[in-house]
Chains A and B, each alone.
Chain A
Amino acid sequence: MQLWQEFRNAELVHRVAEEIRRLVTRPWVLMEICGGQTHAILQYGLDQLLPGEIELVHGPGCPVCVTPLELIDKAIAIASLPNTILCSYGDMLRVPGSQRDLFGVRAAGGRVQVVYSPLDAVRIAQENPDKEVVFFAIGFETTAPPNAMSLLQAKALGLKNYSLLVSQVRVPPAMHAILSAPTNRVQGFLLAGHVCTIMGYWEYDPIAARYHVPMTVTGFEPVDLMQGILRTVKQLEEGRVSVENAYSRAVTREGNRAAQEIIDQVFEPCDRNWRGIGLIPMSGWGLRAEWADFDAEKRFDLGAIRTQESPLCIAGQILQGIKKPYECPAFGTQCTPLAPLGAPMVSSEGACAAYYRYGHSRP
């Protein structure tokens, strides 16, 4: 028996669903932060097992979706330069920039290489000493340690042709932004298990207390997700507010100290723009001053980048859980995974792509 099969056990999932049904006395709105969880919920049809009182709204936890347009345009500009290789996670290639996407750059002759890990990008830099190799370092707390590690490794190897285009964001500031918005509907959170594996969950206590919103650290398999929902609903029904851990096989309160130290060596907190949402103060990480030589934004003169978003796309409201993808007039018509107007229709973690792929329409 493979480990994951136990966490997809149908009988167990149905038992937890039954417990949730028994517990619920009134409507609750829960948000899962992570796009991976959004996809798992739709892939397994978990929403179909929940009582009508429980509404799941989908959070901004899709790294591809929230990477600001300006940085995508910068990546496209870098990839279009002669003598450079832009390395990226595959998901980013289809995200529309102002004019085109990275697939288009590749078709026009630019070198864009899909890698599974930034350490592959370091290897590519080693193998191509006459080329500038840039890794598009996007993502939440989960990708920060490997991205930072790639710089430590590049430095140890004495590589002069490797740099990062950084768009590193963090979950807690985004939760502040969502909860303090006057339009907020979220009453409870499923916290992203992978993020908490790295960072622990101590930093969520003050958020839960300040906004009086219970939270549960939640994994990604059906049983994990149902457990996360159950424990959050239980807190809500009992009027309790705390941060519980329903993913203890991976997450501790302190998180992974070694990974946090690596992040700290390379990155420092900074303001970040979130695509569709806007500037969130101190919501991301940027390279520390001593790593400026490895900063692609400083290394390449990209001129002035003027961005232009599609006026039709309502990604911002989707990413904050204010609207559902099918409430967008462009959903499935002008905007499809083939011709996306915004990032949430592109990424395998984007809410719009998940709704489209699994055929979710207005109930």
Chain B
Amino acid sequence: MQSILSRSIKGPIGLIVSILVLIVIFSILNPRFGSIENLQNVLYQASVPLIVVVGATLVIQMGSIDLSVEGVMGASGMAWILLSPNTRHALDLGPWAWVIAIGLGLGLGLLSGLVHAKLKVPSFVVTLGTWYVGLGIAILLYGNGMLPSLTSEALARWPSRLSLGLPNSFWLAAVVILGGILASNYTGFGRGVLAVGNNETIARGGGMAVDRIKIAAFTVAGCLSGLAGILATMQLGSGSPDIGFGQLFTVIPAAVIAGTALGGGEGGVLRSILGVFLLIILNNGLVLAGVDPDFQSGVFGAILIVAIVAVAWPTRGALKVAK
């Protein structure tokens, strides 16, 4: 039973089957679930966590963790909207708004990476700190003024507009995913991430630039969180420091149920994508079935616990030390 559970959790087949089962159940419960509009809606909802999960997967593959997602999203999203046409003031930097906002995410990711790799601070504490640093930046940028809303119709509509039948949000996520898969499979960085996650001591002994790989992974994760923050802000149409609220509870369980073990070295971007879809479909279906959206973090939290326990169960040992 244990082995079946953990194997089904590790293999992508199990994930795909679970997704299909969910789709069937929800379609029966509510015919609207299977409608084209709703499927487009699912893709639209999934695009932000899909972008975040690419970076999170790289970090978890190294055996580290990035808890800063929500804060970085808040900082970048707020920076972006204040530099784009909005109700607060006329300042419009156009593409530079993107560069600066993603640069902010990059900076925060770099900070996490540097402190973690160079000062040897456990990643969960550093990124807990960066989370609040990002959140603090967002709150400070927000200040006491009025709610900044997007005034440009083109920008506000862009995420939901359809191209080739799919929302633009999703196309953006698809580009990121493609980049993530390429980086993971075809670059020294991506392979280095897997090597470090598998055995850092050997990687160091073999002369690999382990610290550089770690810093790079956190930086990439920061950039992607920043991009996700911008997209989420665009989707909402107005700025909020809490724009990333709940993302952590989607992204980490998604990566873990997709087999990206928290110990590192396993899993992959593609699988984590499936994990995100599983959770988003579950959430969408539950909402359509009349379940209060408040249940989301609870359901995802429970899934996270079951997933980590199922993965950790077979490797328990009398003398194994877990912190």
- Whether A and B are associated in the same complex: the answer reads no
